[in-house]
Amino acid sequence: MRADRLVAVLLLMQSRGRATAAELAAELEVSVATARRDLEALAAAGVPVYAQPGRGGGWSLVGGARTDLSGLTATEAQALFLLAGPAAAGSADVRAALRKLVRALPATFRADAQAAAGAMLVDPARWGETGRDRPPIAGPLQAAVVARRKVRLAYAARDRTRTERLVDPWGLVDKDGVWYLVAGTEHGRRTFRLDRVLSAEPTALPAERPDDFTLPGTWQQVVGEVEQRRAATWATVLIDPRHVPILRDHFGRHCRPDDRPGPGGRARVRLGAPTPLDIARQLAGWGSAVEVLDPPQVRAELARIGAELTGRYPPVPPVA
């Protein structure tokens, strides 16, 4: 991507002060013509680089610009870090690049750029919902996170009850296409689904944020709490080993094959869900292909479901 390469060119120029197009081409593994076009593009964009012709010449940064990415406005720096910040959570290379870029920014830009980098997180792990676009309300909320301004939030609960509250926005998370706002409230940390946010009005009031707050670390705590609720019940089942991938697809991370083989060559698998009924509903269609060893509550739910089906659909007498 050319934008990535232009930033790399500028960082190289800052570290060396002067370089030829050939030196930059060798460093970036591009042609000399491409390196020259990149330098000319930086100059056209307002970055103070200029060419010195003749022997011993090359391209240089104007004196005071060596520690200043003066081709970036404050808004542009924030935009760059908003885009790169989510990728930094899973890439040591991106984190290192952002640290270098922060050092290269003007001092007046650094705080806002770093805040932007920590304003959003992308979590690719599934919770079973896909195909959602970024909601329009994410933009104003993201701006409030960066500016550290409280937000007046109107929110619809699961039962569609409307509530209004003043929150301290800490960060936005895109989890498999479902967007969340992590925020501080008078009752402590809360997580809000953006598709249930009815309105969000940024205020001029300064937002509070814990000194040790990091969005990736806090989000891991949120995920752990949610997953604990989603797997409050665990059952041990026996099944043909070739069917284990199907169980894993249905139960996701709450399907845990046991290394100990079960009787008759069957696989022993641990399955988790919020309630015994949730597990029984998932397994009822398997019939005798799955045997539930424990807990008795799941076995009881399966027996109840079986009795209901037998009552609703009595056996059809054979045709004489």
Q: pLDDT truncated to tens, each residue of the chain (320 aa)?
A: 455 677 777 777 776 677 888 888 888 888 888 888 888 877 776 667 777 766 667 887 765 444 445 455 555 555 555 545 554 455 555 555 555 565 555 554 455 555 555 554 555 455 444 445 667 888 888 888 878 899 999 999 888 889 999 999 998 888 777 889 999 999 899 999 998 999 999 999 999 988 888 888 888 888 888 777 777 899 999 999 999 999 988 888 789 998 888 888 899 999 988 899 999 999 999 999 999 999 999 999 999 999 999 889 887 777 76
Check: CB of residue 176 under 8 Å from CB of residue 125: yes
pLDDT of residue 207: 92
Contact 70, 76 (CB under 8 A): no
H helical segments located in the chain: 2-16, 21-28, 32-44, 74-88, 92-104, 107-117, 138-147, 215-230, 244-251, 276-283, 296-312
Please identify which residue in the block is written with the tokens 């935009």: 79
Helix 296-312 with 276-283: angle, nearest 10 deg: 50
Residue 48 contacts residue 56 (beta carbons within 8 Å): no
Cβ neighbours of 181 (radius 10 Å) = 26
- What CATH number labels 2-67? 1.10.10.10
| pLDDT score for 128 | 44
DSSP string, 120-149: EEEE-S-SS---PPPPTTHHHHHHHHHHTE
Whether the CB-CB separation of 141 and 151 falls below 8 Å is answered with yes
Exposure of 54 in the CB half-sphere (CA atoms within 13 A): 1
Fold of the 231-312 domain: Alpha-Beta Plaits (3.30.70)
The two structure tokens encoding residue 193:
């689904």
- Whether pTM > 0.75 for this model: the answer is no
Q: What are phi and psi of 314, to 5 degrees?
A: -65, 155
Asked if 139 and 169 count as a contact pair (C-beta separation under 8 A), the reply is no
Residue 107 has a CB neighbour count (10 Å cut-off) of: 8
DSSP structural state of residue 227: H
Compute CA distances 292 → 247, 287, 297, 302, 303, whole Å.
13, 11, 10, 9, 11
Torsion of CA 28, 31, 33, 35, to 10 degrees: 0
Please, are residues 192 and 131 in contact by the beta-carbon 8 Å criterion?
no
Q: What pLDDT sits at residue 189?
A: 92
Query: What is the rounded (10 degree) CA torsion for 85, 91, 92, 98?
Result: -20
Question: Is 47 exposed, middle or buried (CB count within 10 Å of its CB: 0-12, 13-18, 19+)?
Answer: buried
Contact 280, 235 (CB under 8 A): no
Q: With CA atoms as reference, report the closest residue to 38 among 3, 73, 67.
A: 3
Domain ranges of the chain: 2-67, 74-117, 123-228, 231-312
Q: What whole-number distance in Å separates Cα of residue 276 and Cα of residue 281?
A: 9
Q: Taking every pair of C-alpha atoms in the chain, what is the biggest distance, in angstroms?
A: 106
| Separation CA 179–CA 123 (nearest Å) | 10
